[in-house]
Every structure is written in C-alpha cells, then in structure tokens.
Amino acid sequence: MAPSTTDETLAAAADVKLGLAANTKSVLTKEEKIALIRVNLSEILDFDIIEKIIDEGRHPRIYWGTATTGRPHCGYFVPALKIGQYLAAGCNVVILLADIHGFLDNLKAPIELVQYRAKYYQFCVTSILKAVGVSTDKLEFVLGSSYQKSPEYIMDVYKLCSVVSEHDAKKAGAEIVKQSENAPLSGLLYPILQVLDEEHLKVDAQFGGVDQRKLFTAAKEWLPKLGYRQRAHLMNPMVPGLQGSKMSSSDPDSKIDLLDSPEVVTKKIKKAEAAPGVTEGNGLLAFTEHVLLPAKTLHGGSFQVDRERDGLPPLVYTDITQMHSDYKSDVLTPQLLKPAISKGLNELMAPIQADFQASKEWQEITLKAYPPEEKPKKVKKVKDKGSRYPGGGAPPKDGAAKDGNANAILDQ
C-alpha cells in the first residue's frame, strides 16, 4: 500500500523543508523524523516497526545495499538524497557493498574483479553523497564478504535453503537477478543472501527500489521461519532511463556515467526520448523530479529553464507539479528542458569528477575494476590463389607441364 500522510506529518514535513535542512536542528520531533523518513518514497511495508523504535527513543538502523557490478550512474543520486533524509531524521545508515551478490548475479562481476569494484563503488557513493550535501561521518560501509563467509551466516544460508522452494526463490529475485535460459544456481542464492543480510547486519529496515518489492515481501515471510524478526521495508521510485526503460548499469544507452564528460552528457540528453506533452514514463521529467529538483531546492534554490533564445524570462521551478503542467501545455518543451537538464546534471557531477581527478587511488582502482576491453587483433587474410594448374596438382618437373597436362586431357 502507498504511504499515507496525516496533516500533522505534512506540517512537520513543511517545517523541515522535506530535506537535509533538518541537520541544522539539534532535536527533531517524532513527527518531523517520520516526515523525513517517509517523504519521496513509493511504498512502505510495516512502518509501525520504525514508529515503535522512535517511540522507544532509539535511532532506527536502516541498510541500503548495492551489488558491485557495472559502474554506478547518475540514477544513484536518487537513493543518495533519500539516505541524506534518513540521516537527518537521526537514523543510523549502513551501506552494504554487496560484492558476493555481484558475483552471484549471473556472473556480472567476475570473482577476480569484485574486490576492486567494491572499492570503486565506495569511492563513487561517498562522492555522490558529498555532492548533494550529505555528511558521510555517520555512515557505515560494510563489505558483504566481510561477514557472508562466516560459519554462522553460511549455516543460516543452509537453513533457509531447506525451507524455501525453488519457485519462491526464483520469484523473489525475478526483478533484480538477470534471468536467462538454463541460469546458474547462484541466481537462486542471491535473494537468500539478501534476506539474511537484514538479520546479520542487525538492522530495523531495508531500503531499496520498488523493483525489489517481491524480495522484500519474501523477507517478511522467510525470516520468521528461522526464528528471526520481521523488518520494515522502504522503497524509492525507479527513475526511467534515457530511452524510457529502467536505468541500468549494464545498459550504456539508458544511463549517464558519473565520470562522463560534459560533452558526452549533453549528447546523451539530446538523444533521450521525450515526447512533447507526455509526462508518463518521461525519463527526463522523472530524473528532474527525483534528482535535480531535490538537489536544487535543498538549500532554498530552484531549477531553472532558460528561454533567452525566445526573448522570454526563465521558467523557475521548485516542485514537479508545475513542471508537469507546463510540459503538458507545451510551455515547457523538450527543446527547452534538455539543455537545462544537461546544465544541472553537469553541475551536480562536477565535484564528483573533481574528486576523481584528485585521487590517484580512485583512478588506479578504476583500471583494475573495469579494465579496458582488448579488441581482437585483425588477422590479415591470406588469399588462396590456388595452384594455377589444372587439377590442382603441383607443376611437373623439368618443364613437362604442358605435355603432361595435354596427355592427361587426351586420355580422358
């Protein structure tokens, strides 16, 4: 069910500007904390678990995990902004760098590369959070392999495998594990591990995209089978990619890499699908709603669309409702929106790229984590000119070629 919001919660949300501005307040009320935790989520399961913890005077412990596979892209700004709100609400946040998960997911991350990719992800996530004004001092980074190979964890894997069917495991991972014909068994282990992470990280809630809903509902059912308590689940919306589908690390046409140059960003945005007047499934509007608008309005700013070429003042936005209205009425066109998004995104990515240029370690890890593909060398094809003699044989010795061949023909 979609999260409901009371008038009291709405008032609290307005008071803290629904953002990280709450960091300036030393003490938040219960309503303000709840407002920050709930805002901008698509769905929440069992929020009463979190409310009870707040009532007890404790800080909810929430984890967000990311499988260290393809290079992180600008869609990672969505959970980063939400993590900032959790921190502002006083939550303890754990970021799981799921290296073993990356290997299990249809071998997306070769075992010899996962350690480097996990380090690359830590650099990226830390820099993303800094770029949107989130302090990383209270964050806890945990490497999956640091505890997922322990005897206790492995025994829990065996136990859960004994009570979960193949059908249910496949269903739980349907939206997050790459499906293929004759898929490896590792894909069935992936959801088993993610469910157990809630217990072994000792968290009260797991945060992830709505594409993980089936896995979250499985966790509610599976953990009690081992005698473990249920957790709350918080889901952020999935931002469509540049071509309308899900933004994915493994699909270069759907995403913008964090280290893409301004020229590449502009080129990709120009090519992005954006039908005039259509807001549904519009990846550019969705990205503006969930990344650029929150990032711009965080400190009292706004998202602006320049119209100087038309001799008109800029369009100024602080919420998505007006943007949708202007887009539907053709006041805001794709031709106007795309340059504004390119500018806003390049500004947001600039400090990340500056961090990358300043860190030799990050640069070295990048080459190890994602080594350049070696193009196969072109082998010069040797033309087969044949023997140049009838019958394909070798030329006769002592200049008898003509007589020998003529006699052979006459004998036929």
Domain ranges of the chain: 7-236, 252-369
Model confidence pLDDT, tens digit, residues 281-333: 888 998 899 899 988 887 788 999 999 988 999 999 998 999 999 999 999 99
94 with 146: CB under 8 angstroms?
Answer: no
The amino acid present at 131, given as its one-letter code, is A
For the residues 72-92, what does the mean pLDDT come to? 93
Nearest to 327 by CA among 276, 376, 271, 401: 276
Question: How many residues are given for the chain?
Answer: 412
User: Above pLDDT 90, what percent of the chain?
Assistant: 63
396-409 mean pLDDT: 49
Q: Which amino acid is at 282?
A: N
Cβ partners under 8 Å of residue 144, min gap 6: 65, 96, 97, 98, 99, 100, 101, 193, 197
Domain 7-236 indexed as CATH 3.40.50.620: yes
Question: How is residue 194 written in tokens?
Answer: 């993610």
Q: Compute the distance between CA of residue 186 and CA of residue 171 in angstroms, rounded to an integer.
A: 14
How do residues 87-123 score in pLDDT, each as one tens digit? 999 999 999 999 999 888 766 678 888 889 999 999 9
Say which CATH superfamily domain 252-369 falls into: Tyrosyl-Transfer RNA Synthetase (1.10.240.10)
Per residue in 138-171, pLDDT (tens digit) is 899 999 999 999 999 999 999 999 999 999 999 9
